[in-house]
Amino acid sequence: MNRWRRSVDEIQARKRQVTECERALEALCKVTACFQQMAISIGSNSDGSFLREEMDETRALAHRICTGLHRRLVPLLTERSTEPGQEDRLQVQRLWVLFLTGLENLQQDLHKASDLIDRFPLKQRNDRRTLVNTGATDGVTGVSARAASVQTPWLAVEVEQNPDLKTHITQIDVLVKEMLQKVSIPFWAVEATQEAWVEATQSQDAAHDQDETLEEMMVVSQDDQMSGCCQPLNCKLWCMFCLST
């Protein structure tokens, strides 16, 4: 294989890995959101063996996604900038920042879940008496279904052993420290892809346009109402005619 062909293959392989990291990061956001909703249900009347099992499966899925992202994202950032296919380096750096943020959010939810599980153990049937009756029912089934439907590009080929909850929290600490040591990228050096508060600005512009439309409709409506004999001049002439008669 000549050098040109090898460079083309390396660029295509890099683009494929970047795309996989983007899809995996989206999957991690969905799984983390589902796990967060499950965690806040611990200790309520929606709690039970089903919730605890679904939380373990969701946490295992998040663990596989994080491990796969770490294995692919770090090599993409540690490659020398002189190698081919480095035009997307800024994009990869943004993925790295978003991944670290996702790890921190997941770790906070794991700490919350660990604390609530210690406060509300379900080892015996009598433990259900300590659950708080919040009035919420059947709120976990839909969340677990959404978490189970999340897929990642490498989920079928990579199987990671699911650690227990305490070990999982420790592994995230190690993972974050390793990423910060191997990759030296200041957070403030990574630029956003869109302007700040762009969604709020768009909603304000839409509301302003709507207000202008309502004002125009009111003006048109007033003009229509005053277009008949009820205009000021017509009313004055009609009153003078009535008085004269």
Query: Structurally, how many domains does the chain consist of?
Result: 2
119 pLDDT band, cuts 50/70/90, is confident
Looking at the structure, do residues 106 and 218 belong to the same domain, yes or no?
no
CB atoms near residue 16 (< 10 Å): 11
Looking at the structure, do residues 237 and 147 belong to the same domain, yes or no?
no
Whole-angstrom Cα distance, residue 5 to residue 11?
A: 10
* Mean local confidence (pLDDT), 177-193: 74
Looking at the structure, do residues 26 and 140 belong to the same domain, yes or no?
yes
198 pLDDT band, cuts 50/70/90, is low
User: H helices within 41-189, ranges in order?
Assistant: 49-78, 89-119, 141-148, 165-182
CB atoms near residue 29 (< 10 Å): 17
The two three-digit tokens of residue 189, written as one number: 């050096």
pLDDT at 195: 62
Looking at the structure, do residues 222 and 182 belong to the same domain, yes or no?
no
Looking at the structure, do residues 137 and 211 belong to the same domain, yes or no?
no
Picking from 158, 176, 193, the residue at the C-terminal end of a domain is 193
Picking from 154, 176, 193, the residue at the C-terminal end of a domain is 193
Looking at the structure, do residues 231 and 126 belong to the same domain, yes or no?
no
Looking at the structure, do residues 211 and 187 belong to the same domain, yes or no?
no
Least confident of 7-16, 94-103, 135-144, 199-208: 199-208
Whole-angstrom Cα distance, residue 9 to residue 118?
A: 52
Looking at the structure, do residues 14 and 36 belong to the same domain, yes or no?
yes
Looking at the structure, do residues 56 and 101 belong to the same domain, yes or no?
yes
Is the Cα torsion angle 61, 64, 68, 71 positive or negative in sign? positive
pLDDT at 229: 44
Looking at the structure, do residues 70 and 19 belong to the same domain, yes or no?
yes
Looking at the structure, do residues 124 and 217 belong to the same domain, yes or no?
no
The two three-digit tokens of residue 187, written as one number: 């957070």
Q: Which residues contact 37 (CB under 8 A, 6 or more apart)?
A: 139, 143
CB atoms near residue 145 (< 10 Å): 11
In this predicted model, what pLDDT tens digit does every residue of 33-78 receive, in sequence order? 999 999 988 888 888 888 899 999 999 999 999 998 998 888 888 8
CATH number of domain containing 107: 1.20.58
Domain that holds residue 143: 3-193
Higher pLDDT, 186 or 206: 186
Are the CB atoms for 179 and 92 separated by under 8 Å? no
pLDDT at 129: 74
Are the CB atoms for 18 and 91 separated by under 8 Å? yes
* Mean of the per-residue pLDDT values of the chain: 75
pLDDT at 76: 87
DSSP reduced 3-state for 44: strand
Looking at the structure, do residues 182 and 204 belong to the same domain, yes or no?
no
pLDDT at 102: 92
